[in-house]
Structure 1
Amino acid sequence: MQPDFAPRFAYLGCFTTAARGARGDGIHVHAIDPATGAWTHIQHLPGLVNPSFLALAHDRRTLYAVHGDADYASAFARDAATGLLHPLGQAATGGNNVVHLAVAPSGRHLIVANYGSGSVAVLPIGEDGSLAPFSFLAPMPGNPGPHPVEQAGSHPHQILFDPSGRFVLVPDKGHDDVAVFGFDADRGTLSLHSVMAACPGAGPRHAAFHPARPVCWVLNELNSSVTTCRWVSGRLEPVEAVPTLPGDFYGTSTAAAIATTADGRVVYASNRGHDTITAFCSDGGDGHLRPLGWTRAPGRGPRFMALQDKTLFVASEQDDRIGRFAPRDGGALDPLGETISSPSPVTIAFA
């Protein structure tokens, strides 16, 4: 979850290739009007292959991107006044189909998930924000799940630091588990600390921590569920799993994104196929989830969500739209104005 603040700029990544059935091209930069929230397009960086996840350095001076179906990450210097980007180059990640990244708390390393080759890589970050090729590579533990296509091998899908910054959580969609690595900030190395097994065929995709309590929610893509876990000394202890879909839905759908409000009282999950956003109430201190209802997504394939400045942004990849919603106190979502048009949007970073 990104730190909450009133953003001035939005950075949009997309899928770009014919193999993805995509219509996007590179990274788009928008200025955000602080009074109205309106977006104005100010920059386009064309020719980038599948910049499918973006994240900013902690000082917001550098934007990082990983490229789906490729084997490298990119860095871009950011002008704080204008929001414009300048390329700093690319660096190899030691694997393929890189899908997610996180900047280490020290700001000296970038951790990336190599979805296609089942590994996690550490890339050094230079003083100017540029990237060096991977300096450490950790294979994912475990064995493939039962799905013959989606779980033929390891598919790490997210890099998530715990609140202490000492551990890195990596949900593995292919191995039906969440691996927890200890991170040595001085050496820039990872060591396996624990593994939480998910239900066979669940397909863990993303996770989110409660902002103040030792609770972590794991979103399972393949069986469309959220597992509530206790977080104890670098270990996930599963408590319960609840579906993200209503009981009367029998179609095909997969879960994609998870987000929590700043107070941790409401958790949102997106459903691709059902094309909705599920709202859950988090009751008490144990993170127990109770479904509150479903809101129609702005379009088909809501792959990405972000809560920023009391607004939930939802990127619907298949219909080229980004929707904005205002969360009510009870968790319901009210649409805010018209959707934003953007080709094959799959990630947004704010500054």
Structure 2
Amino acid sequence: MPSRKLPAVTGALVLAAVSCSAPKPPDAPGPRAVYVTNWASDTISSFATEADGALRAPATSLSVGTGATHPQASVRSRDGKWLYVGNWGTRDVTPIRIEANGALTPFPSAPGPAPQPVTPSGIALSPAGTALYTANFGNGGDGTVSQYRVSPGGQPHGVRTIPAHGRATTGLAVAPDGRSLVTANSGSGDVSAFRIAPDGSLTWVATVPTGAGAFFVAITPDSGRVLVTNSKADSLSVLRLSADSGLTPVASVANAASEPRGIVLNRTGDRAYVANFADGTGPGHITAFSVDGKTLRPLGPPVATGSNGAEGITLSSDGKTLYNANFNTNGAGSVTSYPIATDGAVGPARPPVLTGGRQPDLTSVTAP
């Protein structure tokens, strides 16, 4: 993780948090939009999209919520009605309702469950949407995982925080079959697997080395393989994930760009896209891979983002557009979009669009 001086909050459209114990969800999810968390501005940016997936400027910005600071990671509910944001600074999770007209309504943040998590950095929902988890960086020390129960009204409630069995835990993913959760531990260069009980609770199964700076993980749609970006080793790892949450290393593949971090899979799981951070100050790139049962194969040369420090990454729901957030150390944040060809190759980058905030970090961008 780069060292950071916490700057003052920039101006933004501020919406007051709503106090309600059981908020009613909107009748329908809001329109297609891309959301970005701006770590250094305490804001969320919302982009409308064109028919071809391009971002429509300018972005709309709002405060992440009363008192919440340094939003780091976000995930959208499957029904499209909620955006959940993990806050690095205040160690909590802000639920934001997505109204039918596209407006965002922040609700009071859910405190991190005891023992209080330190610097939440990644976030994931269970397939049913009833459990939410954060990966906690621990300021570079021992990492942890926090579990939240999500009420029928969409509100998260802290349940417990447990050891991640690795250091500096940055990312995590829940298997599509709901049986397993896997964390990436950047400080110890390994990944940890947990079995998920019906009530959402976690039981640690194993921790397996992958490579220096294991940063983020993605799990294939069949829940059979785990892909890991090793940011300091400039490599990706493939592991087999068993039904009982065991991990078996399968392959390690060199990455053709500097400091791979964010990773996303397409819906069929045969294509992987990686955002390359380049220390946050160097030109970012996107690398693409075809995925089979045993390894990864590069899908064309790296594609320049047109900005610096690529990190957060996501695909549109139809798989035709890729988005990445650009950290741009000490500068204005931006998002780059790309058309995806029918063979999965990444097309030319469209010009980056400013978020209106600063330093979108980690799993900072989400799409419908």
Q: Structures share a fold, TM > 0.5?
A: yes
Partners of 2:217 and 2:137 lie apart in 1 by: 16
After superposition, the C-alpha distances for 1:89-134 in whole angstroms (9 at most, x for unaligned) are 11222211111111222322211111115211111222321222x2
Q: Which residue of 2 aligns with 1:249?
A: none
What is the DSSP-based 3-state SS (H/G/I as helix, E as strand, rest coil) of the residue aligned with 2:263? strand
Partners of 1:30 and 1:288 lie apart in 2 by: 32
Say whether 1:104 aligns with 2:117: no
After superposition, the C-alpha distances for 1:135-176 in whole angstroms (9 at most, x for unaligned) are 11211225xxxxxxxxxxx11112211121011111111222
- The CA deviation at 1:326 is 1.4
Q: Match of 2:151, as an amino acid?
A: G
Q: Match of 1:71, as an amino acid?
A: R
- The CA deviation at 1:43 is 4.1
Partners of 1:211 and 1:287 lie apart in 2 by: 16
Partners of 1:122 and 1:334 lie apart in 2 by: 38
1:11-50 to structure 2, matched below 5 A, reads 11-16=35-40, 24-34=41-51, 37-41=54-58, 43-46=60-63, 48-50=68-70
Q: Which residue of 1 aligns with 2:162?
A: 138
Structure 1 residues 57 and 182: CA distance shift in structure 2, 3 A: same
The answer to whether the 8 A contact 1:323-1:335 is kept is no
Q: Which residue of 2 aligns with 1:148?
A: none
Aligned length: 316
- The CA deviation at 1:255 is 1.7
Q: Which residue of 1 aligns with 2:91?
A: 71
Say whether 1:348 aligns with 2:365: yes
The answer to whether the 8 A contact 1:303-1:317 is kept is yes
Structure 1 residues 336 and 269: CA distance shift in structure 2, 3 A: closer
Say whether 1:298 aligns with 2:317: no
- The CA deviation at 1:316 is 1.1
The answer to whether the 8 A contact 2:306-2:351 is kept is no
Partners of 2:52 and 2:253 lie apart in 1 by: 39
1:151-190 to structure 2, matched below 5 A, reads 154-186=167-199, 188-190=200-202
- The CA deviation at 1:329 is 4.1
Partners of 2:225 and 2:52 lie apart in 1 by: 36
Say whether 1:210 aligns with 2:220: yes
The answer to whether the 8 A contact 2:55-2:353 is kept is no
Structure 1 residues 240 and 317: CA distance shift in structure 2, 3 A: same
Structure 1 residues 336 and 82: CA distance shift in structure 2, 3 A: farther
Q: Which residue of 2 aligns with 1:53?
A: 73
Partners of 1:95 and 1:36 lie apart in 2 by: 36
The answer to whether the 8 A contact 2:272-2:289 is kept is yes
RMSD: 2.4
Partners of 2:137 and 2:178 lie apart in 1 by: 22
Q: Match of 1:140, as an amino acid?
A: A
The answer to whether the 8 A contact 2:74-2:85 is kept is yes
What is the DSSP-based 3-state SS (H/G/I as helix, E as strand, rest coil) of the residue aligned with 1:279? strand
Structure 1: stretches of 5+ with no match in the other structure: 1-5, 17-23, 143-153, 247-252
Partners of 1:162 and 1:332 lie apart in 2 by: 25
Partners of 1:125 and 1:305 lie apart in 2 by: 25
Say whether 1:276 aligns with 2:291: no
- The CA deviation at 1:259 is 1.9
Q: Match of 1:126, as an amino acid?
A: S
- The CA deviation at 1:345 is 2.7
- The CA deviation at 1:337 is 3.9
Partners of 2:192 and 2:177 lie apart in 1 by: 17
Q: 1:89 aligns with which of 95, 103, 108?
A: 108
Partners of 2:75 and 2:268 lie apart in 1 by: 22
What is the DSSP-based 3-state SS (H/G/I as helix, E as strand, rest coil) of the residue aligned with 1:345? coil
- The CA deviation at 1:38 is 4.4
- The CA deviation at 1:266 is 2.8
Q: Match of 1:327, as an amino acid?
A: I
Structure 1 residues 299 and 40: CA distance shift in structure 2, 3 A: closer
Q: Which residue of 1 aligns with 2:33?
A: 9
TM (norm. structure 2) is 0.78
- The CA deviation at 1:78 is 1.6
Structure 1 residues 198 and 64: CA distance shift in structure 2, 3 A: same
What is the DSSP-based 3-state SS (H/G/I as helix, E as strand, rest coil) of the residue aligned with 1:164? coil
Q: Which residue of 1 aligns with 2:237?
A: 227
The answer to whether the 8 A contact 1:228-1:289 is kept is no
**Identical positions, percent:** 22
TM (norm. structure 1) is 0.82
Q: Match of 2:256, as an amino acid?
A: L
The answer to whether the 8 A contact 1:32-1:38 is kept is yes
Partners of 2:176 and 2:156 lie apart in 1 by: 24
